[in-house]
Structure 1
Amino acid sequence: MPLKPRPAPDALGHRKLFGVLGPSTNTVVQPDFDDLRVRGVTNHYSRIVVEDAQAISDETFMAGTLEISRNTLDAVRGVLTCNPDYLVMGMSAVTFYGGAEGAEKWRANIEAEAGLKLCTGSQSLIEAFGAYGGIKKIVVLSPYYPSANAHVAHFMSDHGIEVVRDTCLRCPSWTAIAQVPTSELRDELQKLDGDDVDAIVQVGTNLSMIRLAAAAELYLGKPVIAINTATYWNALRQNGITDQVPGFGRLMEDF
């Protein structure tokens, strides 16, 4: 459970201390969240310790993500010792599993253990769709395997969003996700886009997409939502922090 209230504001995180939960193999979400950070808010990364899973099939990919899920509570207990105000999940795949009901149960379990609210990537995308307005059909870019993308589509369907098409990069390990070059991601965005969709969504927090997504919004002329941007934006807004940060797309600049 959280520690007792602080007798005075934290010197750097005098507005909020965010406890960030992320896989130990993830090298992107921590610097991404720090780049999105605003004055008076600090991020305190707690590693969900996992092996660098070799994902060579649907089955091994799913097994690796479930290991992360099982180990999340240990990371929660660790970060609670700095007495954070709020938790932010820096891994997205498991937050889609089981559709809307499964995702809510998973989040509620973490919140019950922590005694704090938790921001997840899946719910943050739904909040982002509401902010943009008019988003009903999307395409999805992920580093996952098809089984995990199917969970994303199920979750979206439960919220009235249709996944028209998707791309699975089938990254061979957790660390390999961070090694996908920007040029490849840019090409995938172009392939996915079409007049039949309202927005492009990227999932998988170890893909470096917060700057590319912002640029792609300009040349594609529609919302391009990176999961790390949506998650951190939602964490700020859920805590009443409305600061706008330029350079990371319309979510951070306009909403």
Structure 2
Amino acid sequence: MEKTFSLSLASRRPRLDERPLEKRVGLIILATDHTTEPDFRRMVASERIGVYVTRIPYANPVTPENLRAMQPQLTTAAGLILPDEVLDVVMYSCTSASVVIGDDQVTAAIRAAKPDVPVVTPTAAAVEGLRTLGAARISVLTPYTLETSRPMADYFAESGFSIDRFACLGLTDDREMARVGLDELIAFAREAVAPGSDALFISCTAVRAASVAARIEDAIGKPVVTSNLATAWACLRLCGDHDHHAQFGQLMTLPLAGA
């Protein structure tokens, strides 16, 4: 049966909003990352803030050499996030790689594709978060081996923190790091924190610690900063969200200096 119909063009071109969403957060995450996107959907994305993701090639195991190998890909990855459009912030979601590559080098590589954009790394955000909480003495929990953890210990010591205790889980695959159970994270956090520390930092964007940060704070009686909690906090504040999100932990109730 033959169907007949006509097509017609609207009488005018639609008026366009400047942006579909008011603010844009770009994420550069590892090809193997299971955790950053769910965390940012839960803590950052909203009707006002859009989260736009690209993935960067990465191969396990987690070693300084494999982490450093991502550096040449950072500019290309940043350029793939809404090409030729302005972003309000770009976050590179790898804590240990930010240490071995360097915060300044990560920023320079991203800005080669997105000039002048504010860049957030988990390490710099964690330092800012710990300082905002007033922490001088810290304990640290990482999922890494001792080899991968040593540069991170040096990073936080050089940033001015006294490290009371530094505990490592000894894992080498970030996909396994993402599978550490939430109750296990709370148990290891209890073991990792020293009585005299002002706060606990839990490293790695693969680890699901941000989802239980408030529970860990209740368990240890101290503020907790995790990689994804710190970056989500920084991205929210840089996008003009200054609300208290106490359900995510103490850090999310505080301002970001200069935001």
The share of aligned pairs that are identical, in percent, is 23
Name 2:184's counterpart in structure 1. 184
SS in 2 for 1:247: helix
Cα RMSD after superposing both structures? 2.0
Name 1:58's counterpart in structure 2. none
Residue 10, structure 1, aligned to residue 22, structure 2:
no
Residue 19, structure 1, aligned to residue 26, structure 2:
yes
Match for 2:98 among 95, 100, 112?
Answer: 95
Name 1:66's counterpart in structure 2. 68
Matches within 5 A, 1:32-181: 32-37=39-44, 38-51=46-59, 53-55=60-62, 61-81=63-83, 83=85, 84-97=87-100, 102-115=102-115, 116-133=117-134, 135-181=135-181
Structure number with greater Rg is: 2
User: Which ranges in structure 2 are unaligned for 5 or more consecutive residues?
Assistant: 1-15
Q: Which amino acid aligns with 1:30?
A: E
Alpha carbons 2:165, 2:194 under 8 Å: kept: no
Distance in 2 separating the partners of 1:68 and 1:105 = 12
User: Which ranges in structure 1 are unaligned for 5 or more consecutive residues?
Assistant: 1-6, 56-60
Name 2:231's counterpart in structure 1. 231
Distance in 2 separating the partners of 1:217 and 1:75 = 35
SS in 2 for 1:89: strand
Distance in 2 separating the partners of 1:82 and 1:170 = 41
Q: Normalized against structure 2, the TM-score is what? A: 0.84
Q: Which amino acid aligns with 2:212?
A: L
Distance in 1 separating the partners of 2:183 and 2:94 = 23
Match for 1:28 among 32, 35, 38?
Answer: 35
Alpha carbons 1:213, 1:226 under 8 Å: kept: yes
Structure 1's 170 and 74: CA in aligned 2 closer, same or farther, altered over 3 A?
farther
Q: Which amino acid aligns with 1:225?
A: V
Provide the aligned length of Structure 1 versus Structure 2: 237
Alpha carbons 1:23, 1:68 under 8 Å: kept: no
Moved more, 202-211 or 140-149: 140-149
Matches within 5 A, 1:192-203: 192-203=192-203
Structure 1's 9 and 252: CA in aligned 2 closer, same or farther, altered over 3 A?
farther
Report the alpha carbon displacement of residue 80 of structure 1 after superposing the two structures with TM.
Answer: 4.0
Q: Normalized against structure 1, the TM-score is what? A: 0.85
SS in 1 for 2:232: helix
SS in 1 for 2:244: coil
Per residue, is there more helix in 1 or in 2? 1
Alpha carbons 1:20, 1:90 under 8 Å: kept: yes
Distance in 2 separating the partners of 1:157 and 1:240 = 31
